[in-house]
Amino acid sequence: MNNSPYLLDLTEVDLSMIHLVGGKNASLGEMIQNLAARNILVPGGFVITVAAFNAYIQHNQLREKIDQLLEGIDTSDIIKLRKTGAAIRRLVADGVFPSELVQEITDRYYELSSRYDNEATDVAVRSSATAEDLPDASFAGQQETFLNVRGAQGLLNAVKSCFASLYNDRAISYRAERGFDHAAVQLSVGVQKMVRSDLGVSGVAFSIDTESGFKDAVVINGAYGLGELLVQGEISPDEFIVYKPNLRNPALRPIIEKKMGRKHHKLVYGTTPTELVKRVPVDQKLANNFCLHEDQILLLARWVAEIENYYTEKRGVPTPMDVEWAVDGLTKQLFIVQARPETVHSQREEDVLVEYHFDEKLSASKLIMEGIAVGDGIGFGKVHKLYSLDGRDGSVDEAAFKEGSVLVTEMTDPDWEPIMKKASAIVTDKGGRTCHAAIVAREMGIPAIVGTGNASLVLQDDDEITVSCADGETGKVYKGQIEFEEIQTNLKDLPTTQTPLMMNVASPDMAFKFSKIPNSGVGLVREEFIINNYIKVHPLALLKHREVGDEVLSKKIEHITSGFDSESDFFIKKLSYGIGRIAAAFYPKDVIVRFSDFKSNEYMNLLGGKYFEPEEENPMIGWRGAARYYSDAFREAFGLECQAIKKVREEAGLDNVIVMIPFCRTPAEMKRVLDTMASFGLVRGENGLKVFLMAELPSNVMLAEEFSEHIDGFSIGSNDLTQLTLGLDRDSSLVAHLYDERNEAVKMMIRILIQKAKSKKVKVGICGQGPSDFPDFAAFLIEEGIDTISVTPDSMLKTLRAVSALEQEKNS
């Protein structure tokens, strides 16, 4: 055991010692001591304790001077804050170490070097404050870190800079905002063996979805090289999401998202004594591939889940974690280099649902740009562009920034915290949702959109804009002020219903958020939305674009499919991720996925579609749905859909997915579809697979008993059933006045279907909008004994209350 009050090995440190070694070092020591047995690797090193920091301050007689400078400081006065911070940092940096501290640090550094068979090994020097990485305050990036530090003198210089960084402007402001006493917050420094991620990969991972607070996801961001460019927001990282509960089964591979980032630069070791690190371009071929392969994604996700489990057991309350990781490019080993409790959703009241309602058609006409949403709020104000904090580049000085303005810049970092807290919203060119600036904005509750690419060029000073993060992962910037209504609902106060209410979910990006709304599962997932928005290419164009001879098309497809093994691999995985994300959000409740139901004119609009689609006079009742699946012209494309479903159910373990066949005209056609599915490995009843029929044709109703022999349930598609029962085109405005699902003929069709299905003990649900729009229609369905009702998320709460009232009235 080391007897020095100034230095401790990381193996001697644990969470009970935050007062002595700070939150970051305490967590590293805790993991080294307790998670090594679970094969989780953390680089070794030592800690320069708070006692050493205090000795340094005392040796240079700085305490009284620092306290005087900080006394009564108004952190909203940017100029005063800047001058005060600079003065304190200069005092600390000009100090000298006590001689015994110099000797101890030098001896311990060379001891660490010999442990790794180096004469002067490369180390990371990280600040670790006593009020940092706490469950209720992250202080993300408030103090300094130095990478690739070598030699005793270089280490001493870095330690002194870390000491001074306790008084960075951002740290002073953050402490004041959080009510921490400046004098009570002290600093320790961690000296940790570097992982050679300059030759490999590094990044950040959360054991919770950072935007929605969905607790069953591990979200991983990664890029090539050292991690500073990622956490500073200089690049847009790759993103991977894994469904956490299914990691317990080693046979499963529950990856439910892979998104390619823009990784055009990386940070590597410098090549001169004064250049610790430098920024270099990434080879284009490397940039167009995912930085982690799937085995690495799964291993990292398991480690993150293990770390969360350990901290949860340790603290006795759920403790989602924020983890920094690195892959050594020499040894190919994965390491955890930091771990801290997540500080936003772990502190939030999850029983309150906040919804924003605004005119989507009106707002769409005012859309300026999109980016990555941080948070879920909406902000409005005048644009104020800043490129630096002191006007060195000719932009307006930060002191001129007015409360309530929208901060628009290339990228913020934690130094910008004093400005960020004054902004109504933030929009940046660069960054990802796990960079330091995003973490700080999220913690402050400020809506931010990062990674727009060109916001600082497109938006001009004094433009009035609305910044919306209320649409899932995609943040949107609108011209002018978009009027919206904010509705808060206490989920504990909602009534229950006897009739299960399900949800129609279109966007995988919104699934985690929607899953918080009381529900009985998902009654309709349309594959068309995922194909249109996430794949964007006609499936046959993916498979056969080289046969077409269109070089422009082939180049576009080559670009879109970057990072995947083949065009078919791209389609299968992207579709599986979209479906899997929704299935994971609602697991273990049923999620009914309808196979693709594009009409030929809609398929034509997909990239390459013109080469594979016929011209039809009336595509609404033409070659759509089931008729495509077994046809020679489309069968191969349908096979990709089947393989995606198989991947979700069997590889990711999300066996709550039910498949649904749309627009199936006859029982014989249903049998052909089932045979085609089976040829691609999807067999009804195998591994619990259920098959539903979209009941939307009069023939589905009239022949319900025959269809029942081949399916496990019906889901009424009231839109098509209404148009085909009444003989009108629902896309035509000329006959729109006749369209009404409450027409007696349509209701008769529904009544007959429910009766026939019940006689065969087959369930019937409905996934149209009618029950939420018309209470009398909902009453009719309940009276007839409908098994489930599925509506859009924005109608869910209204329908829940209406159905509950109807059921009470019926039972009274």
Per-residue pLDDT tens for 148-202?
999 999 999 999 999 999 998 888 887 877 777 777 788 999 999 999 999 999 9
CA distances from 72 to 182, 221, 441, 451, 669 (A): 11, 40, 26, 38, 79
* Residue 393: per-residue pLDDT: 47
Q: Identify the CA nearest to 297 among candidates 220, 244, 226.
A: 220
* Residue 75: per-residue pLDDT: 80
pLDDT band at 226 (very low <50, low <70, confident <90, very high): very high
pLDDT band at 1 (very low <50, low <70, confident <90, very high): very low
CA distances from 47 to 9, 111, 163, 186 (A): 6, 13, 13, 14
Q: Is the pLDDT of residue 42 over 80?
A: yes
Task: Please name every residue paired with 206 in a beta bridge, in sequence order, or none if there are none.
Answer: 219, 322
* Residue 2: per-residue pLDDT: 56
Residue 732 DSSP SS3: coil
Write down the residue that tokens 């005092």 correspond to: 91
End-to-end CA distance of the chain: 75
Put simply, whether the predicted model's pTM sits higher than 0.75 gets the answer: yes
Mean pLDDT of 363-373: 89
Residue 737's CB is within 10 A of a number of other CB atoms, namely 8
Separation of alpha carbons 386 and 401, rounded Å? 9
pLDDT band at 346 (very low <50, low <70, confident <90, very high): low
Give the CATH number of domain 198-342; options: 3.30.70.1290, 3.40.228.10, 3.10.450.50, 3.30.470.20: 3.30.470.20
Q: Is the pLDDT of residue 574 over 70?
A: yes
* Residue 352: per-residue pLDDT: 79
* Residue 211: per-residue pLDDT: 86
Domains 7-193 and 198-342 agree in fold: no
Catalytic site includes residue 767: yes
Contacts of 804 (CB under 8 A, 6+ apart): 495, 496, 497
Q: Is the pLDDT of residue 730 over 80?
A: no
pLDDT band at 390 (very low <50, low <70, confident <90, very high): low
Q: Which of 303-312, 503-512, 696-705 has the lowest mean pLDDT?
A: 503-512
Residue 46's CB is within 10 A of a number of other CB atoms, namely 25
* Residue 397: per-residue pLDDT: 58
Percent of the chain, pLDDT > 90?
69
Contacts of 527 (CB under 8 A, 6+ apart): 575, 579, 593, 594, 595, 596, 597, 641
Q: Among residues 436, 469, 538, 664, which one is catalytic?
A: 436
* Sheet containing 45-48: order of strands: 7-9, 45-48, 187-193, 123-129, 145-149
Q: Which of 87-96, 279-288, 735-744 has the lowest mean pLDDT?
A: 735-744
Extents of the domains making up the chain? 7-193, 198-342, 352-488, 494-811
Homologous superfamily in CATH for domain 494-811: Phosphoenolpyruvate-binding domains (3.20.20.60)
Q: Which architecture, in CATH terms, is 7-193? A: 2-Layer Sandwich (3.30)
Give the CATH number of domain 352-488; options: 3.30.70.3270, 3.30.70.270, 1.10.10.60, 3.50.30.10: 3.50.30.10
Contacts of 685 (CB under 8 A, 6+ apart): none
Contacts of 695 (CB under 8 A, 6+ apart): 701, 704, 714, 715, 716, 717, 721, 753, 764
Reported as type and span, the H/E element at residue 338 is strand 334-341
Q: What angle do CA 174, 178, 180 make, to 5 degrees?
A: 95
**What's the longest Cα–Cα distance across the chain?**
94
Contacts of 6 (CB under 8 A, 6+ apart): 48, 49, 51, 52, 55, 100, 101, 104
Separation of alpha carbons 360 and 378, rounded Å? 14
Q: Identify the CA nearest to 151 among candidates 58, 320, 274, 250.
A: 274
pLDDT band at 133 (very low <50, low <70, confident <90, very high): very low
Q: Is the pLDDT of residue 134 over 70?
A: no
Residue 189 DSSP SS3: strand
Write down the residue that tokens 């990478």 correspond to: 147
Contacts of 34 (CB under 8 A, 6+ apart): 14, 310
